[in-house]
Amino acid sequence: MISKDPNHVHTYDAQGRMTCCSLEEKIDAKTGTPHSCCEVHEQEAEDGHDHSHGEKPSWMQYAPAIVSFTLLLTGILFEQVFKPAFFKDPIKLIWYLVAYVPVGLPVMIDAVKSIAKGAFFSEFFLMTIATVGAFFIGEYSEGVAVMVFYSIGELFQSLAVQKAKRSIKALLDIRPDTVNVLRDGQLKSVSPSEVQIGEVIQVKSGEKVALDGELISDTASFNTAALTGESKPDNKAKGETILAGMINLQSVSDIRVTALFKDSKLSKILAMVQDATSRKSQTQLFISKFAKVYTPIVVFLAVGICLLPSLFVSDYQFSDWLYRALVFLVISCPCALVISIPLGYFGGIGLASRNGILFKGSNYLDVMTKIDTVVMDKTGTLTKGVFNVQEVVAGGIDPMELLRLTAFIESKSTHPIASAIVQFAGDSPNNATIQQVEEISGHGLKGIIDGKEVLAGNLKLLKKFAIAFDSELEQIVETIVVVAINGKYAGYITIADEIKEDAEQAIKDLHGLGIKTVMLSGDKLSIVNKVAKALSVDEAFGDLLPEHKVEKVQALKDQKRTLAFVGDGVNDAPVIALADAGIAMGGLGSDATIETADIVIQNDEPSKIVSAIKIGKLTKKIVWQNIMLAMGVKVIVLALGAGGIATLWEAVFADVGVALLAILNAVRIQRVKLV
């Protein structure tokens, strides 16, 4: 269960243990943004009073409320219906005290702990003085009732939080505890953290992959639901990348490890999800600060309601006005607000994760509701980034030699175009020596192969080195890789990319939300315009270097637009960092881009951009519904309590009832199915 102590924000670690730190520690004093400073709050686990109530509910969790409720109900029947002669003071007092202890004592202990930490005006303190006051004026059953229904409300809150956590927590169960590694010709079962880069692991049918690696079996099929949210089989061929978290669907597969356990993409995803729960939205931060000010105010108002009437009410009865003050205190507890709001955001993060979208904090759910412009990279975002060589055109050199040299230098790059050329070259002779390879950002590659200076890249590369080429090359619409050898133009290779299946619908849906779309690309303007026209993108810019993309995004921000940038390459990281919401395509995206991004789309589908915006809007709607409901009811009942119209029974039912309604509304988001 999330603590409602206004001075602290509680979150949870991978084992479901509560973490805690003060708001002052969580908020950066300069930027006003939250950072993850919490450590596990061990003491509460040690002293047996864990606010999280554990991850596996047992009968012990419900026993105190059941015992107290049974005794309360029996006492009320004795008092109001059967009226046995023995049920009078002091027996009645003792009976209700016994009913009070199971639910009241833990709250009193929490009140003392809160006071020891400097949080004098906590909800535990309010409940304690309200119920003790009820016993003082002889309203025993009402005092017990306040604490019983408060505890029942706490149990519902605990269950709701556990339900909200389940979809996220499920991710933590997808890492295998052991892995079969091939050592000295034998398979050994070891912990994944003990496996080194370069070792070969074996994954049987139905088993989960524990580490990122390269498939060395000829073919294999994997379920990628843990990483992408999509359960359809993904067929892999020898040499292709396999990620931790995938499930082997067919025969035994051998995989050569390419990353340590702690560096796997799955580990990074899990870290993002866990970290997301500790990054609070501005609404959450406001409510926490509000509760910190609100609670002492209502305590002093309650004192005023009890004592001030003695100055101007002729028939002043202390017990009557104390009762009104106690009603006022019970209804003033900000339970519904402080629980349902973070629960709403937590549900939003869970809904997103089930749909293959990782929000790195609930604050980004709020940001997505304000987006009015979505700026997208082309390759890998709107197009598949799976390129195929169409034609090799040589100029004064043998086409096979042109392909060999180009494939050899491109083998030093991870760009999808480079991979396409290397794959197309296949088993072409590559018995050559390569030296001094240099990647020129936004242009291409330069290197020495067998003593020859080879340039391979776009036309800007040739212009940069003042190499003459036929002007007709600039009229070619397709993507081309031009090659120069020893300072002379040698030919080009044409490459084709495909638009993603859901890209057109994604743009249409964004327009339906009133959002402007912009496409930025380092590719040729002719290709960019062709893709933009096919997708109906509002604006498109091509021939851009990374710094030019930054300039375009900054220009949009200068127009006071709230924008999201979506990209997948290393060169997109600076623009993603600049945008109000940086979105990375996590399936094919680079680690640098994913680390920089605020939101990660795991299956590379552009339509998930729309889903992320819808989830943000739905979460905000539910959160504000809860705020209005809680504040509205509290204002009404506070006024009734101060006027002597509402009783403690009505106060507790109003308080717990509003909290439960808010919780039910908050967990509703977890059942939403995105179209």
The mean pLDDT of 259-271, rounded to a whole number, is 71
Token readout for 625 is: 């519904």
Nearest in space to 641 (alpha carbons), one of 633, 652, 651: 651
pLDDT of residue 355: 85
Classify 292 as helix, strand or coil.
helix
Is the pLDDT score of 274 beyond 70? Answer: no
Nearest in space to 244 (alpha carbons), one of 283, 201, 286: 201
pLDDT of residue 278: 54
Nearest in space to 457 (alpha carbons), one of 493, 411, 414: 493
Is the pLDDT score of 232 beyond 70? Answer: no
The contacts of residue 260 (CB under 8 Å, 6+ apart) are 193, 195, 196, 197, 211
Is the pLDDT score of 294 beyond 70? Answer: yes
Question: Rounded mean pLDDT of the chain?
Answer: 79
pLDDT of residue 372: 96
The mean pLDDT of 372-381, rounded to a whole number, is 90
CATH tag for 357-384+499-602 (out of 3.40.640.10, 3.40.50.2300, 3.90.1300.10, 3.40.50.1000): 3.40.50.1000
pLDDT of residue 273: 54
* Between 42 and 242, residue with greater pLDDT: 242
CA dist list (Å): 599 to 31, 179, 269, 531, 565: 20, 31, 11, 25, 10
Contact 654/640 with Cβ under 8 angstroms? no
Query: What is the value of pTM for the model shown?
Result: 0.61
- Rounded to the nearest 10 degrees, the angle between the axes of helix 416-425 and helix 399-410 is 130
The mean pLDDT of 316-341, rounded to a whole number, is 80
Classify 620 as helix, strand or coil.
helix
**CATH class as words, domain 388-496:** alpha beta
* Between 429 and 22, residue with greater pLDDT: 429
Instruction: Give residue 54's region: left, alpha or beta (phi > 0; psi -120 to 50).
Output: left
Token readout for 347 is: 């549900």
Residue 79, classified by CB atoms within 10 Å of its CB into exposed (0-12), middle (13-18) or buried (19+), is: middle
Most confident among 111-125, 167-181, 182-196, 563-577 (mean pLDDT): 182-196
pLDDT of residue 16: 33
pLDDT of residue 240: 87
Is the pLDDT score of 453 beyond 60? Answer: yes
Is the pLDDT score of 40 beyond 50? Answer: no
Token readout for 128 is: 């304690």
Is the pLDDT score of 200 beyond 90? Answer: yes
Name the residue ranges covered by the structural domains of the chain: 8-169+273-350+617-671, 179-272, 357-384+499-602, 388-496
Distance CA 192, CA 175 (A): 9
Token readout for 191 is: 């912990």
Rounded-to-10 torsion of CA 617, 620, 621, 623? 160
Q: What is the end-to-end Cα distance of the chain in Å, rounded?
A: 31
Q: 23: pLDDT confidence band, cut at 50, 70 and 90? A: very low
The mean pLDDT of 498-521, rounded to a whole number, is 94
pLDDT of residue 175: 60
The mean pLDDT of 341-355, rounded to a whole number, is 81
Token readout for 643 is: 């006027």
Nearest in space to 549 (alpha carbons), one of 534, 571, 568: 571
pLDDT of residue 571: 64
Give the strands of the sheet with 219-223, arranged side by side: 233-237, 219-223, 247-248
Q: Which CATH architecture has domain 179-272?
A: Distorted Sandwich (2.70)
pLDDT of residue 56: 42
Q: 674: pLDDT confidence band, cut at 50, 70 and 90? A: confident
pLDDT tens readout for residues 513-571 = 999 999 998 877 888 898 999 999 999 998 887 788 889 999 999 999 999 999 876 56
Q: 248: pLDDT confidence band, cut at 50, 70 and 90? A: confident
Contact 23/289 with Cβ under 8 angstroms? yes
Is the pLDDT score of 15 beyond 70? Answer: no
pLDDT of residue 3: 34
pLDDT of residue 203: 92
Nearest in space to 125 (alpha carbons), one of 95, 104, 141, 155: 104
pLDDT of residue 28: 34
pLDDT of residue 335: 66
Is the pLDDT score of 10 beyond 80? Answer: no
The β-bridge partners of 213 are 242, 257
* Between 62 and 285, residue with greater pLDDT: 62
The contacts of residue 55 (CB under 8 Å, 6+ apart) are 16, 162, 169
The β-bridge partners of 565 are 375, 582
State the catalytic residues.
377
Nearest in space to 195 (alpha carbons), one of 208, 177, 217, 207: 177
Q: 354: pLDDT confidence band, cut at 50, 70 and 90? A: confident
Distance CA 419, CA 89 (A): 87
pLDDT of residue 103: 93
Q: What is the 3-state secondary structure (H, E, C) of 492-535?
A: EEEEECCECCCHHHHHHHHHHCCCEEEEECCCCHHHHHHHHHHH
pLDDT of residue 282: 61
pLDDT of residue 327: 83
pLDDT tens readout for residues 208-227 = 888 889 999 988 888 766 55
